[in-house]
Amino acid sequence: MHINQAGLDLIKKFEGLRLHAYQDSVGVWTIGYGHTDGVWDGQKITEDEAEAFLKTDLHLAEQAVDSMVTAPINENQFAALVSFAFNLGTNALRKSTLMRKLNAGFPKAAAEEFLKWSHAGGKLLLGLQLRRQAERALFLTP
């Protein structure tokens, strides 16, 4: 399965596009739409490069979600899980109660787990709260 337009729009909205490297809320060098692999201070990219990074990063997140989910899910649920994995990392999703509840056949209980992932560096962040609410809403959309 591949991320749908609603999921892609959600990621782009919350990641934003930055063509110059910056440190995120926990100090990780980031560029483009939340790309972190191999990013260095002072790095600059084009919009086309940002799109290419996004495509690669999304492919990795999609593969991870595909490999983890054993319960039947719809496109919106898949997109919400890809957004979560894209933002927090695939290991966070793999080890989460969200994934355990989903694979156990409790998607509504799994949806509530999104809201518990709104902290970075030990601090509650409004941007993460809003993103998790948007992911939850997408996950619950038939």
CATH (domain of 122):
1.10.530.40
Single pTM value for the model: 0.94
Structural domain total, the chain: 1
Euclidean distance between CA atoms 70 and 8, whole angstroms: 23
Residue 5 identity: Q
The range of the structural domain enclosing residue 23 comes to: 5-139
**The pair of three-digit structure tokens given for residue 140, joined into one six-digit string:** 């619950």
pLDDT, position 122: 87
Residue 18 pLDDT exceeds 90:
yes
Q: For the chain, what is the total number of helices (H) and then of strands (E)?
A: 7, 4
Residue 71 pLDDT exceeds 90:
yes
Euclidean distance between CA atoms 119 and 87, whole angstroms: 12
Q: Which of 15, 62, 113, 135 is catalytic?
A: 15
On whether the CB atoms of residues 103 and 70 are closer than 8 A, the answer is yes
pLDDT, position 25: 84
pLDDT, position 14: 97
Residue 78 has, within 13 A of its CA and on its CB side, a CA count of 19
Reply yes or no on whether 15 is catalytic.
yes
